[in-house]
């Protein structure tokens, strides 16, 4: 079957690409010679594919530094829009037209990506507005290093799990952990090392895992509530320090370090009452359940003839040519729902966490109930004849399929590579 070009265009809409826009400054004047004798010389940075999740105070600093260093690709993920409170800590939002962007609720990722093109037109920039669970692991797979600039534990744990499955180094930054003069940078090296949850105590890890699998609210709801109550205090000073440390540690890890080292490292920085930097090394916790060998995505079958909008699990199962196929979901999905007020029924086909923050499409009531929740999809399910897009999966997703039965059961991973064509 020929690739369907029109549908492909639609597939690419979810991630906006700005690299084709006309440069806003001449790249001919750009001179990297002062970096040539450093770890960040041009032949290294120009090839590096980076992903930054979170475009708040910390994300602004990380993104600014990656733009100045001239990384080859910079992908920015954030779910929020710009607000007045961002302006005291986020340099990239300080533009002459920021009042317009605040009034228009411009997504942070979009605005920051535009600013990167102004700072350094040589960087290929992409932006995605949404949560990491809706981003599509295929794009994460094509990153060399991931920077976590998130403001809550749940989203961090989710991103760390995804990086661990794909063996991607993750540099997690945190602000205001003890007070506004403290911050933490952690390097989580990949599949062979610890994840974000390995450092948590048993009880906290259990709580976070419970929330991850069946959480009542998307992770940002609690973070937003805390911010509104003024519980999270951060300064542009600490954001600069932690953001710089993240980029330094992350890029040196890519360029210079022993990538097989299985240890994680954390740097705790305090600036008051005395400047102090403390290094802590840590190994994988034997009690952390996120390191089952079967959850790792090692080889991915790249399907190039179809995109996620035109193919169904039933067709994919047939293509794989094995019996007892089963599509496993990363997160539980709400397939059927009803409204307790107007009694209408509908098929949300979305992640459970997202459904639980939604309302009735008929009457707008928040009093909605789940009728059918699935954790996976067997070959004989009626849902298997819906396309992957109809089932609510993001473009560029990696699908986990169980093939064979009983003792012979194994997992394969599949992506529709043309979903990602623009990257």
Number of continuous H segments (helices) and E segments (strands) in the chain: 12, 16
- Taking the least distance from each CB to Zn ion, the nearer of 24 and 363 is 363
- Taking the least distance from each CB to Zn ion, the nearer of 304 and 365 is 365
Residue that has been written with the tokens 């001239």 in this structure: 70
Residue 157: name the closest of 192, 108, 225, 206 by CA: 206
Task: Give least dist CB 334 to Zn ion, A.
Answer: 15
- Taking the least distance from each CB to Zn ion, the nearer of 152 and 285 is 285
Task: Give least dist CB 206 to Zn ion, A.
Answer: 13
- Taking the least distance from each CB to Zn ion, the nearer of 197 and 212 is 197
Angle, vertex CA 169, rays to CA 420 and CA 302, nearest 5:
30
- Taking the least distance from each CB to Zn ion, the nearer of 288 and 377 is 288
Record the tokens describing residue 399, joined without a space: 């699908």
Residue 84: name the closest of 257, 227, 200 by CA: 227
Q: Cis link prior to 370 (omega < 30° from 0)?
A: no
Task: Give least dist CB 372 to Zn ion, A.
Answer: 17
Record the tokens describing residue 238, joined without a space: 């600490």
Task: Give least dist CB 199 to Zn ion, A.
Answer: 8
- Taking the least distance from each CB to Zn ion, the nearer of 3 and 262 is 262
Task: Give least dist CB 351 to Zn ion, A.
Answer: 21
Contact predicate 397/17, CB 8 Å: no
Task: Please state, in angstroms and rounded to a whole number, the distance separating the CA atoms of residues 266 and 399.
Answer: 32
Task: Please state, in angstroms and rounded to a whole number, the distance separating the CA atoms of residues 196 and 168.
Answer: 13
- The residue length of the chain stands at 423
Distance between first and last Cα of the chain: 23
Task: Please state, in angstroms and rounded to a whole number, the distance separating the CA atoms of residues 374 and 391.
Answer: 11
Antiparallel, parallel or unpaired: β 124-129 and 73-78:
parallel
Task: Give least dist CB 124 to Zn ion, A.
Answer: 32
- Taking the least distance from each CB to Zn ion, the nearer of 8 and 164 is 164
3-state secondary structure (DSSP) of residue 367: coil
Task: Give least dist CB 189 to Zn ion, A.
Answer: 12
Environment class of 408 (CB within 10 Å of its CB; exposed 0-12, middle 13-18, buried 19+): exposed
Task: Give least dist CB 227 to Zn ion, A.
Answer: 27
- Taking the least distance from each CB to Zn ion, the nearer of 304 and 358 is 358
- Taking the least distance from each CB to Zn ion, the nearer of 165 and 333 is 165
Which residues make Cβ contacts (< 8 Å) with residue 210, sequence separation at least 6? none
Task: Please state, in angstroms and rounded to a whole number, the distance separating the CA atoms of residues 391 and 348.
Answer: 9
Task: Please state, in angstroms and rounded to a whole number, the distance separating the CA atoms of residues 93 and 106.
Answer: 11
Q: Which residues bind Zn ion (CB under 5 A)?
A: 195, 197-198, 288, 290, 339, 341-342, 360, 362-363, 365
Task: Give least dist CB 213 to Zn ion, A.
Answer: 15
């Amino acid at each position: 079957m020929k690739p369907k070009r029109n549908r492909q265009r639609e597939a690419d809409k979810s991630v906006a690409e700005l690299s084709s826009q006309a440069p806003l400054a001449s790249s001919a004047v750009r001179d990297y010679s002062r970096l040539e004798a450093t770890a960040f010389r041009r032949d290294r940075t120009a090839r590096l594919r980076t992903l930054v999740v979170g475009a708040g105070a910390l994300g602004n600093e990380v993104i600014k530094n990656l733009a100045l260093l001239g990384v080859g690709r910079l992908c920015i993920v954030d779910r929020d829009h710009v607000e007045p409170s961002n302006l005291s800590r986020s340099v990239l939002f300080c533009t002459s037209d920021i009042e317009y962007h605040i009034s228009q609720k411009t997504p942070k990722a979009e605005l920051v990506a535009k600013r990167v093109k102004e700072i350094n037109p040589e960087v290929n920039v992409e932006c995605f507005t949404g949560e990491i669970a809706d981003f599509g692991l295929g794009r994460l797979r094509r990153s060399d290093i991931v920077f976590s600039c998130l403001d809550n534990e749940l989203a961090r744990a989710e991103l760390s799990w995804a990086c661990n499955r794909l063996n991607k180094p993750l540099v997690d930054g945190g602000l205001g952990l003890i007070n506004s003069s403290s911050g933490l940078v952690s390097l989580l090296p990949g599949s062979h090392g610890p994840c974000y949850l390995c450092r948590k105590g048993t009880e906290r890890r259990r709580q976070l895992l419970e929330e991850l699998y069946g959480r009542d609210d998307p992770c940002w709801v609690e973070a937003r509530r805390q911010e509104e109550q003024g519980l999270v205090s951060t300064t542009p000073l600490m954001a600069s320090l932690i953001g710089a440390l993240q980029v330094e540690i992350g890029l040196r890890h890519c360029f210079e370090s022993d990538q097989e080292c299985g240890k994680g490292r954390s740097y705790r920085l305090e600036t008051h009452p005395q400047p102090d930097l403390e290094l802590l090394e840590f190994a994988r916790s034997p009690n952390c359940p996120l390191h089952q060998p079967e959850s790792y995505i090692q080889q991915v079958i790249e399907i190039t003839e179809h995109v996620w909008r035109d193919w169904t699990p039933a067709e994919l199962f047939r293509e794989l040519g094995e019996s007892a196929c089963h599509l496993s979901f990363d997160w539980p999905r709400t397939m059927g729902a009803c409204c307790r007020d107007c009694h209408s029924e509908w098929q949300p086909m979305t992640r459970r966490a997202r459904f639980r923050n939604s309302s009735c499409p008929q009457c707008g009531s928040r009093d909605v109930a789940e009728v059918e929740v699935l954790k996976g999809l067997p070959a004989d399910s009626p849902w298997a004849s819906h396309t992957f897009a109809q089932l609510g999966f993001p473009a560029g997703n990696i699908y986990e399929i169980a093939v064979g039965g009983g003792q012979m059961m194994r997992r394969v991973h599949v992506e529709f590579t043309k979903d990602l064509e623009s990257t």
